Structure 1
Amino acid sequence: MITIATLEDISALEKLVNSAYRGETSKQGWTTEAELLSGKRITEDELSEIIKNKENTILKFTDNKTIIGCVLLVNKGNKIYLGMLTVSPNLQNSGIGKQLLKAAEVHALSLNLHKIVMTVISIREELIAWYKRHGFVDTGAREPFPLNGTDAVTHGQPLEFIVLEKTI
């Protein structure tokens, strides 16, 4: 079931997102950033701020009262920014990500927004290919990757974001 996350979900969301992107558990899935970055992907305080901001919506995918997926949607006025699409590492490739993408489109259309934009680390070729298979296109725009002190680029590879967009 996909519903809107609340402040009560912060702890479960923090564990889910960090388990899918960073550390040893993330290596069970194919969306891991553990080989590129160290440190936490997100904190409970950051999630609290996200949820409190009225422009943001986090959709959560719940099964048996456990949050196993989520996606952040940010109303940018003329489009939705999609970020933090997360599926529990041991459940990746089960269709949950596709369902969250579809729910993101429904949410965008409910706000009368017909574009979804997102960023992906440029060297994440398999992830970029997945989004392209789901209708996203490379806009040609690039953005710098923010290093906030807790993240360290591990193989010395320079990182940047590729901007992808989908019209719905």
Structure 2
Amino acid sequence: MDTAATDLTFRDATAADVDAVVRLIESAYRGDSSRAGWTTEADILQGQRTDPDGVLAVIAAPDSRLLTAEQDGRTVACCHLEHRGDHAYFGMFAVSPAAQGGGLGKAVMARAEREAREAWGVSEMRMTVISVREDLIAWYERRGYRRTGRMTPFPYGDDRFGIPQRDDLQFELLIKDLT
């Protein structure tokens, strides 16, 4: 494992973590701060990626966990896991831009997959990714996820998910076998 990922503390987020999680997610995907890492969506979406109400809803939802990774007392990564019958859904994945590229994302993803398998007995993880994010999809493919070609529309007109800068956005379903 990479050095950057060895001194992590994992735990489920609580209501007290909402502001830190929102700041982390926004910094990883939106605005100029996101350009410090490679996961930025700043060129395809402006506005917010999430908000405190959305994060709190994920924390409070049944069959849902918001896993956080802390390093030196700071929340440096997070992901949402949701039990959906025979599979788990993986989303709200964010790594601090300053910590990207050092193995932290790989460590968080591996932990999330293991916890979903152990806690819920699922054999598959699913996620959706904006289909034009070829670099991000390639990263997930290197971690064992496969493209399905199954698309769902982007929620144009719902500013809670950002303000699209292009008219060809949609989500593609990616799947990984966890057995």
TM-score under structure 2 normalisation? 0.90
- Give the Cα–Cα distance (whole angstroms) in 1 for the partners of residues 128 and 99 of structure 2: 23
- Give the Cα–Cα distance (whole angstroms) in 2 for the partners of residues 47 and 136 of structure 1: 25
Deviations 1:75-100 (A, max 9, x none): 11110000011100111011111011
In the other structure, the counterpart of 2:5 is none
- Give the Cα–Cα distance (whole angstroms) in 2 for the partners of residues 77 and 20 of structure 1: 30
In the other structure, the counterpart of 1:63 is 71
1:159 counterpart (169, 172, 178)? 169
What is the Cα deviation at residue 153 of structure 1?
1.4
- Give the Cα–Cα distance (whole angstroms) in 2 for the partners of residues 2 and 96 of structure 1: 12
Question: Gaps spanning 5+ residues in structure 2: where?
Answer: 1-8
- 2:49 maps to 1:41: yes
Alignment: residue pair count: 167
- Give the Cα–Cα distance (whole angstroms) in 1 for the partners of residues 140 and 159 of structure 2: 29
In the other structure, the counterpart of 1:74 is 82
- Give the Cα–Cα distance (whole angstroms) in 2 for the partners of residues 54 and 157 of structure 1: 34
What RMSD over aligned residues (CA atoms) do the two structures have, in Å?
1.0
**Which deviates more, 86-95 or 140-149?**
140-149
In the other structure, the counterpart of 1:15 is 23
Percent identical residues: 37
What is the Cα deviation at residue 157 of structure 1?
3.5
- Give the Cα–Cα distance (whole angstroms) in 1 for the partners of residues 53 and 130 of structure 2: 24
Question: Gaps spanning 5+ residues in structure 1: where?
Answer: none
Any idea what SS the aligned residue of 1:113 has?
coil
Any idea what SS the aligned residue of 2:46 has?
coil
Deviations 1:42-95 (A, max 9, x none): 001111111010221011010111000001111111100000111001110111
TM-score under structure 1 normalisation? 0.96
